[in-house]
Amino acid sequence: MSRFSLVRSAPAPTPAALAAPPPVAPPAARVESKPKSPARDAGLDLRLRLHAKLIEELDLAKLDKLDEAELRRQVLGQVTEFARIERMALNARELEALGASIYDEMVGLGPIEPLLKDDSINDILINGPYQVYIERRGELELTPIRFRDNDHLLRIVNRIVAAVGRRIDESQPMVDARLPDGSRVNAAIPPVAIDGCSVSIRKFSKKPLTLEKLVEFGAMTQSMSDFLYGAVRSRVSTVISGGTGSGKTTLLNALSSAISEGERLITIEDAAELQLQQPHVVRMETRPPNIEGKGEIRQRELVKNALRMRPDRVILGEVRSEEAFDMLQAMNTGHEGSMATIHSNNPREAISRLEQMVAMGGLNIGADAVRHQIAAAVGLVVQVMRLSDGKRKVTHVTEITGMEGQVVQMQDIFVFNRTHTGPDGEVFGEFRATGLRPRCLDEMIRRGIPYDTANFDPSKVLG
């Protein structure tokens, strides 16, 4: 054992010591609604025992000085030695897989690390230690992956939130965080989560989807993509509306490719997940209160501060509250082309939600004045939807044209009409233009951005 440079000098563990499982407290009584603990997984127990033994044996003070390849080599060497002592009949591939799982347990996210590396998985949903679901191609699947117990899962959750300077405990049992690749994490622990830790991970592609890819996947047509590209490039302020998991952030990332590289962008998010494609981006993130209930920094304070940082455009990951007013102010005062996402089911509802969020600020502003602000600030509302078959579609591209009386006037430019559903649940439909010519087309022409007006013909199916 002394031949490993990171191992403290200590007597070699005996097979009996490794085989003996750690003492486990008797499980508390569960109510009928809770999932029952499955039978013990011998492989999981072995990995956890080896992990505990490695933590005892390795000199943790030296771990930070090693690169990933060297640390993996050291872990694999230790696993090989333990397998020899245990007389485990493992071939080279099985030893390598066991070493990788132990490494993931030490510095990664344990059992779910392989799921994070699988690019075909969109969401990882953990309902307590014994139930892990994934979403792949719009369908939920139950996986055989599990954690040993709730403490094992809680250790992984703490590793996630500590990496971004946040905390989760009984006094603050819910948290939003992110992984190094930008994937969004939401976690809730007891006493809020009754059946153990609940974790939802929304993964993001390592390579952000482009407009071309969205067209290829059928989320929109090429003519719609060209129009949105031209509108963003000509500094039309845009709100992307949709439900949870509909693809709002993905579309926002894709539309950012239309922004000139010479512009200064400031992004503001609760948990940083945007992957803009420009070189001049300043990223800002909210901060929750500390253990004393102080130090909270909300989106509204960040928007106000961003306006003092000489931005060309301000991009909000999601508008949720009173920061909506400051966003509208920015769009009306020299920061045209700013963008944001909002939760709503259709473009008209998105406008109503903006009104409600401005009212949340407690400002003494009449409803008519707020609507005039919205009509003057927002140029386009792009509605995205996740259909029943799991596919994402841009269902409306809607232009705000001004006020008529006390009503914000809107006109649809492109729509997706669902026609029927196939026997296997696949949704069919067609993209069409409404025949209305958008007002922002004149600005696109003035800026030298060509667009074929034949795409506005309502008699033909687009794409």
Same domain (yes/no): 266, 389: yes
pLDDT of residue 53: 64
196 and 222 belong to one structural domain: no
The domain in which residue 100 lies consists of 1-26+33-107
Q: Are 385 and 310 found together in one domain?
A: yes
% of the chain exceeding 90 in pLDDT: 41
Cβ density class 408-417: b for 16+ within 10 Å, e for less: bebebbbbbe
Q: Is the pLDDT of residue 62 over 60?
A: no
pLDDT of 61 over the 60 cut: no
Q: What is the pLDDT of residues 28-48, one digit of tens each?
A: 444 344 454 554 455 556 666
Q: How many domains does the chain have?
A: 3
Q: In this predicted model, which residue has the larger pLDDT, 444 or 73?
A: 444
Is residue 81 scored above 90 in pLDDT? no
pLDDT-based confidence at residue 142 (cuts at 50, 70, 90): very high
250 and 139 inside one domain: no
Q: Are residues 270 and 379 in the same domain?
A: yes
The pLDDT score that the predictor gives to residue 6 is 41
Helix (H) or strand (E) holding 397: strand 392-404
* Sole residue written with tokens 């819910």: 174
pLDDT grade for 143, boundaries at 50, 70 and 90:
very high
Same domain, 128 and 277: no
Q: Are residues 240 and 264 in the same domain?
A: yes
- CATH code of the domain containing 455: 3.40.50.300
pLDDT tens for residues 413-461?
Answer: 999 999 999 898 889 999 999 999 999 999 999 999 999 999 999 998 9
**pLDDT beyond 70 at 330:** yes
Supply the DSSP symbol for 44: H
Determine the pLDDT at residue 1.
41
| pLDDT bucket at 11, cuts 50 / 70 / 90 | very low
In this prediction, residue 64 carries a pLDDT of 53
Do 128 and 101 sit in the same domain of this protein?
Answer: no
9 & 151 share domain:
no
Sequence-ordered list of residues with C-beta below 8 angstroms from that of 384, at least 6 positions apart, any chain: 219, 240, 241, 242, 246, 247, 248, 251, 392, 393, 394, 395
**Coil, strand or helix: which one is 369?**
helix
What pLDDT is stored for residue 290 in this prediction? 73
Percent of the chain with pLDDT over 70: 83
Q: Are residues 319 and 439 in the same domain?
A: yes
Least confident of 114-118, 211-215, 337-341: 114-118
3-state secondary structure labels for all residues of 60-113 = HHHHHHCCHHHHHHHHHHHHHHHHHHHCCCCCHHHHHHHHHHHHHHHHCCHHHH
Structural domain ending residue among the three candidates 178, 204, 230: 204
- Residue 13 has a pLDDT of 44
Last residue of a domain, one of 70, 91, 107: 107
pLDDT value of residue 132: 94
* CATH assignment of the domain containing 144: 3.30.450.370
3-state secondary structure of 159: helix
Whether the model clears a pTM of 0.85, i.e. scores above it, the answer is: no
Q: What is the overall mean pLDDT for the chain?
A: 82
Q: Domain boundary at 147, 176, 204, which?
A: 204
